[in-house]
Each structure stands twice: as C-alpha cells, then as structure tokens.
Amino acid sequence: MLKFENISKTFNKGSANEQMVFNNFSMDIGKDDFICVLGSNGAGKSTLLNIISGKTRVDEGKMILNGIDVTMDTEYEKCKRISRIFQDPSLGTNPSMTIYENLSMAKNKGKRFGLSFLINKKDEEYFKKILGVLCLGLEDKLNTPVSQLSGGQRQSLALIMAVIGEPELLLLDEHTAALDPKTSEIVMDITEKIVKEKGLTTIMVTHNIDHALKYGNRLIMLHRGNKLIDISGDAKNSLTKKELLGLFKDISDKNLFN
C-alpha cells in the first residue's frame, strides 16, 4: 500500500556538513503490516517518518500511497490520510481544550472545518465507548482540559484521536519513550489492541528491543539509510533478543572502525 521507489535524501547539500541519509532506498509496505523499525542514532528512522508524513521533502525518488503518487504533497495534504503520534505527549493533543473538544476535532479530520458548530451532543455516547477501550477512566472526564491529564493518559488519548478518523497509515514515533516503564507497557498494549481491531497499517519506530520483538509482524533494522535486516512472519517470531543485540554490537563495531 505504501511504496518507496529509489528515495534519496541529503541534508545540507553542498556544504561541509553534507549528510546523506538515504541513497536509492526502496521499500514496500503491505496492507496488513505492523512494522517495527529499529536502528542506532542517525540511522535514518526519524527521517523516514518525516518523509512519509511530509515534514521532509525527498531529493529524488517516488512515494506511492495506495496507488496515488504523494511525493510532492505538502505535510497537511499527507496528514489527511496519515496519522502520526510523537514521542512528546504534548504534541498530539490541544492542552487547553477538553477531551470532548479534542475528540470532536479529531473526528472531523480530513473534512471541512467550516462555520458549523463543533460540539455535537450526539457524539457523547460514541466518545465514551471508544475511551472505554483504554480502561483509564477517561470516559468520565470528558469535560476536563487535557492539560490536567498525565503523560500516559495524553498519549493514549492521542492514540484514540489518531485512529478515530480511520487513517490509511499510522506512524508511531517512539511514542512510549517519554513514559515510565509501566505506563509504557499499558500504552503499547492499547496500541496493539487498537491496531488489530481496526486493521491499521502501522510503522513504529522504537529504541526498545523488547517492544520490537513482541509487537508487529515485521521488523526492519536501519543502518545509514540501508535496511540491515528486514524479516517478517515466522522468521521474526523466532528472532531472539540476543541475536538482535549482537547485530547492534556489529553496527557499533563497524562505526568504530570506519
């Protein structure tokens, strides 16, 4: 459903700090994929997500989403079809608005924001139902401003808001990294539940090897803009933490000698 064809991206082109992140990078993402992307710092994980969500423009190559060429689309055009959750819990919600208002905004995603009233009393039941999935008690706090919620609650709300508009692709950018270990597990469980329920195509960038092994059906390890490993299905399930850590060690050794 998402296809990269020979993507190239170089930052600070022509200057002393020139840095090539991707060179002729190609990738194919299927409809049912839940991909975990691993890699050391500077491997190109964030750039990959930025390219998909339109924050960064590619120098060369094509990006095709469900048969439509979206290479030259601006960020907000891509955002109509793609949802993204960030590492920072404050980025995914509007802090001064209530949960109700935030959900109403998210529900209208991709549609026109005109002069009709935003708040619709009929939505209340629906919102309570989808918040009930989280089991965080948010359904009783619909009129609480989001600024009063904890990081984990906000991130869970951001997740609900990201999927409420049925996006074609869900991007998770280390979305549990800023949370404590317990909350991080809860949010990951909720994520898996929602992704399975809605059958969303998902790309998750993470530094947590346990998460990368436990969740998803496909694992990609990036190194300097290349796929070091790309395994899915049974091969992924049989992968152990030790093997993965070995790979990480190989990379750091290589970096040392280069």
Applying CB under 8 A, which residues contact another protein? 74-77, 79-81, 83-84, 86, 90-97, 101, 104-106, 108-110, 112-119, 162
Closest CB to another protein among 62 and 109? 109
Closest CB to another protein among 1 and 79? 79
CA 248 to CA 82: how far, in whole Å?
Answer: 30
Q: For residue 241, with 0-12 CB atoms within 10 Å meaning exposed, 13-18 middle and 19 or more buried, which class applies? A: exposed
End-to-end Cα separation, the chain, in angstroms: 37
Beta strands 60-65 and 218-223: pairing type?
unpaired
How many other CB atoms sit within 10 Å of the CB of residue 173? Answer: 22
Taking the complex as a whole, the smallest distance from the CB of residue 250 to another protein amounts, in Å, to 36
Closest CB to another protein among 112 and 122? 112
Backbone angles phi, psi at 69, to 5 degrees: -75, 115
Taking the complex as a whole, the smallest distance from the CB of residue 54 to another protein amounts, in Å, to 9
Closest CB to another protein among 96 and 258? 96
CA 195 to CA 187: how far, in whole Å?
Answer: 12
Q: What angle do CA 62, 67, 70 make, to 5 degrees?
A: 45
Are 83 and 160 contacting, i.e. CB atoms less than 8 angstroms apart? no
Taking the complex as a whole, the smallest distance from the CB of residue 68 to another protein amounts, in Å, to 15
Closest CB to another protein among 111 and 242? 111
Taking the complex as a whole, the smallest distance from the CB of residue 190 to another protein amounts, in Å, to 19
Are 43 and 19 contacting, i.e. CB atoms less than 8 angstroms apart? no
How many other CB atoms sit within 10 Å of the CB of residue 64? Answer: 15
Taking the complex as a whole, the smallest distance from the CB of residue 21 to another protein amounts, in Å, to 22
Closest CB to another protein among 33 and 173? 173
Closest CB to another protein among 109 and 236? 109
Closest CA to 160 of 214, 87, 83, 90: 83
SS3 (DSSP) at 147: helix
